Chain A
Amino acid sequence: MSLRPDLAVIAAHVATGARVLDVGCGDGELMAALRDGKGVDARGLEIDAGNVAAAVGRGLSVVQGDADTDLAGYPAASFDYAILSQTLQTARAPDQVLDQLLRIGTRAFVSFPNFAHWRVRLSLLWGGRMPVTPLLPERWYDTPNIHHLTIDDFRAFLRERRIAVEGAWFLSGGKATSSAAANFRAEHAVFLLRR
């Protein structure tokens, strides 16, 4: 089974035997990979009931809930890593969700699609239309992405909030892209953060 590229980056950098909370874990693909490959004690939070049923069906501990409202109940520093993959841009209050992640986890992995990728820029510049790309397949009215951000937006946000970056990976078509050109060339980004 091959993981989505951003999940593969995260899976490669989680320490063996760690305690992990996967926020927006979907059907538990990453959690299962971490459990089976690294003996990780993984817990998940997922909003979609069908996904939760699928994850529980794989023997994973997943709670149906909303990142915007249900993270407050988790104790501080109760996980080595809190993971938020491709979910930040769907949160009602992404800054508060990040605060919660860095409260609950000693470290946090955050991955998101980069809305400044060149294909997105072209679509808006030449087409004059909101971009529909393989990574952003929904149209403006049915997308769950309500807080569009770019890699440079996120970098600025981290500086403002004095959040330390322990690692950053930039991906385009599953391949790594350099940090310098990331805001133009990367389709999505993975950050490893620490308060």
Chain B
Amino acid sequence: MRLDSGGTLAPVEIAYETYGTLDADRSNAILICHALTGDQHVASVHPRTGKPGWWTRMVGEGKPIDPARHFIVCANVLGSCMGSSGPASVDPATGKPWAMSFPVLTIRDMVRAQALLLDHLGVATLSIVGGSMGGMQALSWAATYPERVRACVVIASTARHTAQNIAFHEVGRQAIMADPKWRGGDYYGADEPPAAGLAVARMAAHITYLSEAGLTEKFGRRLQGRDAKSFGFDADFQVESYLRHQGIAFVDRFDANSYLYITRAMDYFDLGEEHGGLAQAFRGIATRFCLVSFDTDWLYPTAESRAIVHALNAVGAPTSFVELRSPYGHDAFLLESPELNRVVNGFLSAAA
């Protein structure tokens, strides 16, 4: 397939899961788009971690997205490492992993690959639901294939990466590349991935997914397994121990080069720039939109959702938007939120 960079990628492999069945008039398909480090296991046990699917609060029996009613598709994004083509995949030309010779991707490239998958599954029109980077894909879907997208749910997301968003990602990338085990991306043969760098990248990113109030509530200044400060550099504080654990757990399930490629795709994302203005991206569109932000999300704050809403209002697109309250910051969209479920359920259940 052709890529936004001007290059091409072949072959294209997409790992995906489906739940439920496509009904006779092919009108019940929902594509769920995952976030940066997510995968296709939206409601099934993760094969590496053994943990339940990442969005079982939203997807499942009796949930807003329900296999009994919907034909649910969730695909691992292009560039990732859970079975879809990415830097860890083998380049057929060399017989070795692509590593850094894998082409740089965009969010729209990921979306084009998903569209090929849906063609393959016989799905012409569909609803799209995504949070965070998944929301970027949902927006890109609507702008790229407006005639295919009936309804679009964009949660805790943005139409463009800001300087601050790019800055945090760059810290993560530099942490990976500063790890001597990264070896210019050529670490696959050695079985010694740049785990320390990737863990630091995850730690930095993880802070952006939480709120100060959430961290204070969960950890405060409490010490970890000790009564007094060590006057050293062990993980004295619970929050340090927690972040270290998050970093270590992450390297067991994620490829460092994939992290570089996907964060790059997010940084390149600016839907308005692609279309000569954000409203232009949606001109003439009949898709119904639903946007949700969380009041403590400082990664993609409400103002970003509101900018999308203003663009959609400017072109008369049927749009709903609500800012929900949560103490948990950006990660709130993955946590228990009856209000979120109520909004998504109502929106998806409404007749088009």
- Cβ of B246 within 8 Å of any chain A Cβ, yes or no, is no
Of B288, B306, B351, most buried by chain A (CB within 10 Å of CB) is B306
Which of B102-110, B175-183, B264-272, B337-345 lies at the binding interface? B337-345
Residues of B within 8 A of A65 (CB): 306, 309, 321
Q: Are A59 and B310 in contact (CB under 8 A)?
A: no
Which of A50-58, A117-125, A185-193 lies at the binding interface? A50-58
Q: Are A53 and B321 in contact (CB under 8 A)?
A: no
Number of chain A interface residues as a range: 20 to 34
Interface flags, A48-73, vs B, CB<8A=1, else 0 = 01101101111111111100001001
Give the distance in Å from the alpha carbon of A70 to the alpha carbon of B343 in the complex: 21
Q: Are B320 and A60 in contact (CB under 8 A)?
A: yes
What number of B residues sit within 8 Å (CB to CB) of A? 25
B113 to chain A, nearest CB (A): 30
Interface flags, B295-311, vs A, CB<8A=1, else 0 = 00000000000100110
Q: Which residue numbers of B lie inside 8 Å of A, CB to CB?
A: 288, 290, 306, 309-310, 313-314, 316, 318-325, 339, 342-343, 345-347, 349-351
Nearest opposing residue in chain B for A59, CB measure = B350
Beyond known contacts A62-B320, A63-B320: 14 more, CB 8 A cutoff: A49-B323, A49-B324, A52-B343, A53-B324, A59-B350, A61-B288, A62-B321, A63-B309, A64-B321, A65-B306, A65-B309, A73-B310, A74-B313, A78-B316
- Cβ of A39 within 8 Å of any chain B Cβ, yes or no, is no
Q: Are A63 and B314 in contact (CB under 8 A)?
A: no
Interface flags, A28-60, vs B, CB<8A=1, else 0 = 000000000000010100000110110111111
Write 18 A-B pairs (CB below 8 A) sorted by A numbering: A43-B318, A49-B322, A49-B323, A52-B320, A52-B322, A53-B322, A53-B346, A56-B290, A56-B320, A56-B322, A56-B346, A59-B349, A59-B351, A63-B319, A65-B309, A70-B310, A73-B310, A74-B314
Residues of B within 8 A of A74 (CB): 313-314
- Cβ of A75 within 8 Å of any chain B Cβ, yes or no, is yes
Give the distance in Å from the alpha carbon of A74 to the alpha carbon of B314 in the complex: 5
Give the distance in Å from the alpha carbon of A63 to the alpha carbon of B319 in the complex: 7
For chains A and B in complex, what number of residue pairs have CB atoms within 8 angstroms?
68
Q: Are B314 and A73 in contact (CB under 8 A)?
A: yes
Q: Are A61 and B319 in contact (CB under 8 A)?
A: yes
Residues of A within 8 A of B320 (CB): 52, 55-56, 60-63
Residues of A within 8 A of B351 (CB): 59
B313 to chain A, nearest CB (A): 5
Q: Are A53 and B342 in contact (CB under 8 A)?
A: yes
Residues of B within 8 A of A60 (CB): 320, 350
Of B314, B320, B345, B346, most buried by chain A (CB within 10 Å of CB) is B320
